[in-house]
Amino acid sequence: MLAQQLFNGLILGGLYALLAVGFSLIVGILKMITFAHGEVFMAGAFAGLAALGLFSPGVALAAALPAAAGGAAILGAVTELVAFRPFRRGPEMTPALITIGFSIILQALALMLAGADTKPFPFNPDFGRWTAGGVVFSGLELGIAGLALAILAGLGLVIARTDWGLALRATAAHFQAAQLMGINTDRVVLSAFVLASGMAGIGGILFGAHYGAFYPLMGVVISMKALAAATLGGIGNVGGAVVGALLLGLIESLVVGYVSANYRDVIAFSILILVILIRPAGILGRREEEKV
C-alpha cells in the first residue's frame, strides 16, 4: 500500500515537475509570472491528441510528443512576444493581467473547438504490467516517469553545460548586466518561454495518457499545483522546482491514500500559502535580505 502510494506520488510529481520547472524558468529570468501556463499545457495536450488521431497507433505516439511540444511552444512564444516583451520594465502586474486574459481565451477556444466533454485517449496505450514488491507498474507509467526524468535531466544538463544555459543563468542573475555583457536577453527569454512551454505541452499529452482524459479545463488545477511546487522549491530555482514537485506529488498521494481524496487540493494550496508566507524563497532557498 505505502509503496504503491509512493510510486503513484512519483508519477504525479513527475507531471507536476514538467510544469513547475517552466514556472521557475520564467519567474527566474523575468521576476514576472504567467498565468497561462496551465492553458499552454492543455493546448499541448490537445495538439498531441489531434496528432494521435491522424496516425495509426504505432506511429501516433511518436507523432504526439512533438505535436504537443510544438503546439505548446508556439503559444509560449506568443505569450512572451505579446504579454511580456513590451512590458519588460513596467509593473509586474501588467503582463500577469494579459496572461490571465490568454488563459481565459484559450479555455474558451478549447471549449468551442473541442467541446466541454472529456475526450478519452484514442486507443489503449497498453505496454504491459508488472508487479514487484506489491507495487503494480504499468509500462505506460514507467514510460511517463522515464520520459519526464529524461527531459528534466536533459534540462539540467543544458542549463549547466551549454552556452545557452550560461546566458540563461546570467540573465536570471542580473538582467541589465547580462544585456550589457552582450547577451541577447530577448532571445534568451523567448527561448526560455519556448522551452518551458514545450515541456508543459509534453506534460499535457503525458497527463492525458496517464488519466485517459483530455478536457478544456485540464490545465487549471494542475498549473496551480505546479506553481505550488515551484514555490515550495523556491520559485526561480529550477532544481528546487523538481524537488518541490516530487515532494508535492508524494504528499498528495499519501493524503489520498491515508486521509481523504477530498482534501488533497486543499492541502496542496495550503502548502502553497504557508510556504509563501513563511519561506518565500522556498524550502531550499536562502532568505533574501530586504534592500531599501
Partner 1 sequence: MIPASPGGWARAAGLALAGVLPFLLDNNYVFHLLAMSGIYMVLAMSLNLLIGFTGLFSLGHAAFYGLGAYASALLTQDCGLPFPAAFALSGLLAAAFGAAVGFPALRLRAIFLAIATMGLNEIVRLFLTNLDGLTGGPAGLPGIPEPDLWLVRLGQPRDFYVAAMLLAAGTYLVLANILSGRPGRALIAIRDDETAARSIGVDVTAYKVAAFGVSAFFAGLAGSFFAHYLTYISPDSFGLSESFAIIAMVSLGGLGNLRGSLWGAFLLCSIPEIFRSLQDFRELIYGLTLVLIIRVLPDGIADWRPLAARWRQWRSGPGLGGEGGGP
Binding-site ranges for partner 1 (CB under 8 A): 27, 31-33, 82-83, 85-87, 89-94, 96-98, 100-109, 111-112, 220, 224, 227-228, 231, 262-263, 265-266, 269-270, 272-273, 276-277, 280, 292
Number of residues in the chain:
292
Query: Quick one: 6 or 265, whose CB is closer to partner 1?
Result: 265
In terms of Cβ atoms closer than 10 Å to its own Cβ (0-12, 13-18, 19+), residue 165 is: middle
- Grid cell for residue 166: 550560461
Spatial distance between the Cα atoms of 42 and 108, rounded to a whole number of angstroms = 12
Q: What SS3 class is residue 135?
A: strand
- Can you say whether residue 234 is alpha, beta or left, with left for phi > 0 and alpha for psi between -120 and 50 degrees? left
Query: Quick one: 27 or 242, whose CB is closer to partner 1?
Result: 27
Please report, in angstroms and rounded to a whole number, the separation of the first and last CA atoms in the chain. Answer: 52
For the bound state, the minimum distance from the C-beta of residue 36 to partner 1, rounded and expressed in Å, comes to: 10
The one-letter code for the residue type at 93 is: M
For the bound state, the minimum distance from the C-beta of residue 98 to partner 1, rounded and expressed in Å, comes to: 5
146's CB contacts (< 8 A; 6+ apart) are none
Cell 490568454 belongs to residue:
102
Residue 5: CB atoms within 10 Å: 18
Query: Quick one: 132 or 292, whose CB is closer to partner 1?
Result: 292
CB 9 within 8 A of CB 250: yes
Distance of CA 137 to the CA centre of its chain: 24
Query: Quick one: 33 or 63, whose CB is closer to partner 1?
Result: 33
For the bound state, the minimum distance from the C-beta of residue 25 to partner 1, rounded and expressed in Å, comes to: 14
Query: Quick one: 181 or 261, whose CB is closer to partner 1?
Result: 261
Query: Quick one: 163 or 288, whose CB is closer to partner 1?
Result: 288
